[in-house]
């Protein structure tokens, strides 16, 4: 059950990370280090 | 907050047997969701309490959408980011609704719109997008982001004009228009780094 929840959370987080990576920066005024695999 | 998110991402990575890079991506996405949601919720809740929900959300959304393309200065910690965001959006909304709306004058508003948008177009042309060491932007992407910034700013200009025109029939649109201007001003000023005490990380 927890594994399925984690898998769902991982999928959603990865999708959000990909969407955020396509923009100039985050929509709030904080920018943590972007993972290398998401960089241009 | 960042440490908590990293711990959760690590737990997820262990359960799903992810490598360190995938874990970093999960942490990045989780953090983006949580930070944006918390900021949005706080702004919304405080907006409801002080009676400026719509104005607060207009300021927040106008900054966020333009920021997506133009980048800008950043706070040094996520907590500081949330605090600054909530304080600014609420203050701008309160000023719009309770100070500037009662003394609204169409000619003053038109002057403000002209001056602010002229300055904004100039700053975006000269400086956008502003990247950071944590998220560098390639030259090719910079051209796309600059175009996006100019398009978004143009949409905001149309909305500001619409707010002025509709303000006569629907008075609340005057306050919404002022809120939008606050959002534009804030985001443009974050492109001019020396003016702020925010750390450009």
- pLDDT(A21) > 80: yes
Q: Give the pLDDT of residue A40.
A: 65
Peptide bond between residue B129 and the one before it cis (omega within 30 degrees of 0):
yes
- B2 or B111: which leads in pLDDT: B111
pTM of the shown model: 0.89
Q: Give the pLDDT of residue B78.
A: 84
Tens of pLDDT, residue by residue over B168-185, are: 899 999 999 999 999 999
Q: Give the pLDDT of residue B3.
A: 87
Q: Give the pLDDT of residue B201.
A: 43
Give the pair of three-digit tokens for residue B19: 């490598």
Distance CA B34, CA B54 (A): 22
- pLDDT(B126) > 50: yes
A interface mutation test: which of B7, B26, B145 has the most A CBs within 10 A? B26
Check CB contact under 8 Å for B35 and A26. yes
Of the candidates A10, A20, A25, the beta carbon closest to that of B26 is on A10
Shortest Cα distance from B181 to chain A (angstroms)?
Answer: 18
Interchain CB contact of A8 with B (< 8 Å): no
Mean per-residue pLDDT, A17-27: 82
Mean per-residue pLDDT, B14-20: 92
Contacting residues of B for A15, CB less than 8 Å apart: 29
Interchain CB contact of A26 with B (< 8 Å): yes
Q: Quick one: what percent of chain B has pLDDT higher than 70?
A: 96
Contacting residues of B for A5, CB less than 8 Å apart: none
> How many of the other CB atoms lie within 10 Å of CB of B137?
20
- B78 or B40: which leads in pLDDT: B40
Angle of helix B78-94 versus helix B20-50 axis, rounded to 10: 30
Any idea where the domains of chain B sit in the sequence? Answer: 1-50, 54-70+90-201
Q: Mean pLDDT lowest for which of B30-44, B116-130, B132-146?
A: B132-146
Q: Mean pLDDT lowest for which of A7-11, A29-33, B81-85, B128-132?
A: A29-33
pLDDT bucket at B26, cuts 50 / 70 / 90: very high
């Amino acid at each position: 059950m927890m594994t399925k929840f984690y898998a769902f959370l991982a999928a959603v987080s990865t999708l959000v990370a990909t969407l955020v990576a396509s923009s100039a920066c985050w929509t709030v005024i904080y920018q943590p280090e972007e993972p290398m695999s998401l960089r241009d | 907050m960042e440490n908590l998110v990293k711990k959760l991402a690590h737990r997820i990575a262990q359960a799903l047997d992810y490598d360190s890079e995938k874990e970093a991506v999960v942490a990045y996405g989780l953090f983006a969701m949580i930070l944006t949601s918390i900021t949005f919720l706080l702004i919304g809740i405080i907006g409801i309490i002080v009676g400026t929900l719509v104005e607060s959300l207009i300021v927040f959304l106008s900054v966020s959408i333009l920021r997506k393309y133009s980048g800008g200065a950043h706070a040094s910690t996520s907590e500081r980011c949330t605090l600054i965001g909530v304080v600014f959006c609420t203050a701008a909304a309160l000023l719009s609704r309770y100070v500037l709306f009662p003394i609204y004058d169409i000619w003053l508003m038109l002057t403000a719109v002209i001056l602010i948008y002229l300055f904004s177009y100039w700053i975006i042309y000269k400086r956008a997008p502003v990247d950071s060491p944590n998220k560098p932007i390639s030259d090719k992407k910079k051209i796309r982001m600059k175009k996006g910034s100019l398009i978004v700013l143009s949409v905001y200009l149309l909305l500001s004009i619409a707010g002025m025109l509709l303000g006569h029939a629907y008075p609340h649109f005057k306050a919404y228009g002022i809120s939008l201007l606050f959002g534009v001003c804030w985001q443009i000023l974050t492109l001019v780094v020396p003016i702020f005490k925010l750390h450009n990380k």
